Amino acid sequence: MTLTNVKQYGYCLPSLPAGSVFQNQADAVRNLQLEILVGGGELPRSRHIPLEHEDLDTLDFDHIYLINLDRRPERRVRLEKSFSVLGLEVERIQAVDGRNLDLDFLKGMGVKMLDGYSDPYRHRPMTMGEYGCFLSHYAIWRDVVDKGYEKVLIFEDDIRFEHFFRQRMATIWRDIARLNLDWDLIYLGRKRLVDESEPFVRKSRALVHVGYSYWTLSYMLSNAGAQKLLKGEPLMKMIPVDEYLPVMFNRHPNDTWNAAFPERDVVAFSVYPLLVYPSHYTGDVGYISDTEQSEVPLMDAESSIAPGGDRSKDSVHDEL
């Protein structure tokens, strides 16, 4: 017998425990469908199995957003199929594309990088992709406040879902209600750093007090949280969005950056374990980063901040 882990020949469902009912089998198939979509495939449906016509919902959120670049239609298609599998109603938001930005446009919007900002790993200013990413999230925060949504869910488009996503999301809502939890922001997907202390929320085994984190793969946001993020006036002292959030919930280690935002009172948590992960990691076939692999504006590139090496947030393997 010859075994290989290089070639993939198909998929199989895990065996279910004794006493499983039809819904357990349906959930297992749903999990498999989502995994196959991440790999670029799609589970064929037998013509003998009727299509489901379940009503889509928003998992008790007022609205769900997907941030997606126009030039990444393959991600949009995959996520739309994933949302269909999960039964989610999601609005796709056209992401601000860093390739289409220039310094004149940024200046016209009143956008300015925070004085002295330098990427912690590459020791460079912000890239155009990072400006675009921030502006995409910022537009959603504005939309939440303008439309009066009380609680929303935000997804980026380079993600995969953990198994039993809907069931675990229901558990999160039950914990929030049972504990009468006051929250502004709850991560569903992020990069947790090893040296951060993140104790469980008292009487919960699904929520933790979040520490300094990278990535904004997915997060829950309240109206009050959106207002606080906007009140920080980040456009005129911009840092990447995954640095800004930890600053605003006061767990960022850089005191200089913290000082630029005096009101750091966002009440933040994270689900544990996470419900959303990257679809690809650095080095994987198909990995693309539209923030890290992006142009540095000429004016900033000529500043006193010297470009660094090849390391980046995406390539730091210190997450748990």
pLDDT digits 0-9 by tens, 163-200: 999 999 999 999 999 999 999 999 999 998 867 789 99
Residue 286 is predicted with a pLDDT of: 60
Residue 288 is predicted with a pLDDT of: 64
Report the side by side order of strands in the sheet with 151-156. Answer: 91-94, 63-68, 151-156, 213-222, 185-192, 268-271, 207-209
Residue 10 is predicted with a pLDDT of: 77
The model's confidence at residue 1, banded by pLDDT at 50, 70 and 90, is confident
Owner of token pair 């004016």: 299
Residue 201 is predicted with a pLDDT of: 97
Of the chain, the end-to-end C-alpha distance in Å amounts to 36
pLDDT at 102 over 80: yes
Residue 248 is predicted with a pLDDT of: 98
The model's confidence at residue 39, banded by pLDDT at 50, 70 and 90, is confident
pLDDT at 109 over 50: yes
Average pLDDT, rounded, for the chain: 88
The reported pTM is 0.89
